[in-house]
C-alpha cells in the first residue's frame, strides 16, 4: 500500500492509520517533495520515498520500491510474460491452450484425419486473433463496400 502525505507529520499519521487497518506492506511516500522544507527532510527516515510530480523526481525510485515490495511478498515476476487482466483475455488464452492440447492428442494418437484435427488449430488461432484484435478480410470488404455508393 502507498501511504502518501505532503509533510512528515501527516505522513507518520497516515502510515500509522494504514498500518492499523492492513497487514499489507506500506510504502511511505512524501508527495510534493520539491516543496519540502529542510526541517521536514531532517525528520524523515530512510524508508520514506520523496516524489515530486511537478519535477518528475522520485518516480523511478517509487516504481522500484513497489517492484521490490511485490517481489518480496509474491516472488519475482518475470516482466516478459504478459499479464492477463481481463476475463476475456484469460478465456481466449484458456481456449487456445485447450484446443492446442486437443489437436496434439488427436495428432499423436491418429484418432482423427489431419483435416479434422486441424479444426482445433483454427479454433486456437481464432481465439488468439480475438485477443489481439486481428482483422478478417471480410471485415475489410464490408467496411470498403459500405463506404462507397455503387450503382446507377
Q: What is the pLDDT of residues 12-65, one digit of tens each?
A: 888 888 888 888 888 888 888 878 655 455 445 458 888 888 888 888 898 888
Residue where one domain finishes, among candidates 74, 97, 119: 74
Domain boundary among 74, 95, 128: 74
Q: Are 60 and 122 members of one domain?
A: no
87 and 100 Cβ atoms separated by less than 8 Å: no
**Which residues face 49 on adjacent strands?**
29
Say yes or no: 44 and 9 in one domain. yes
How many folded domains does the chain comprise?
Answer: 2
Of 14, 65, 11, residue with least CA distance to 33: 11
Place of cell 478478417: 136
Closest CA to 48 of 14, 76, 77: 14
- Look at residues 14, 45, 74 and tell me which one is the last residue of a structural domain: 74
Residue 152 lies in a domain: no
Q: Which three cell numbers, joined as nine digits, stand for 71?
A: 517481489
For the full predicted model, state whether its pTM sits above 0.75. Answer: no
Residue with cell 494504514: 18
Amino acid at each position: 500500500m502507498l501511504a502518501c502525505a505532503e509533510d512528515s507529520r501527516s505522513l507518520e499519521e497516515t502510515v500509522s492509520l494504514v498500518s492499523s487497518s492492513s497487514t499489507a506492506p506500506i510504502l511511505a511516500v512524501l508527495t510534493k517533495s520539491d516543496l519540502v522544507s529542510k526541517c521536514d527532510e531532517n525528520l524523515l527516515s530512510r524508508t520514506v520515498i520523496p516524489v515530486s510530480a511537478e519535477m518528475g523526481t522520485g518516480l523511478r525510485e517509487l516504481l522500484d520500491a513497489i517492484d521490490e515490495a511485490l517481489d518480496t511478498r509474491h516472488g519475482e515476476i518475470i516482466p516478459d510474460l504478459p499479464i492477463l487482466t481481463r476475463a476475456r483475455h484469460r478465456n481466449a488464452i484458456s481456449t487456445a491452450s485447450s484446443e492446442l492440447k486437443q489437436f496434439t492428442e488427436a495428432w499423436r494418437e491418429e484418432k482423427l484425419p489431419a483435416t479434422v484435427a486441424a479444426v482445433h488449430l483454427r479454433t486456437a488461432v481464432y481465439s488468439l486473433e480475438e485477443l489481439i484484435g486481428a482483422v478478417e478480410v471480410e471485415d475489410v470488404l464490408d467496411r470498403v463496400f459500405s463506404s462507397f455508393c455503387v450503382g446507377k
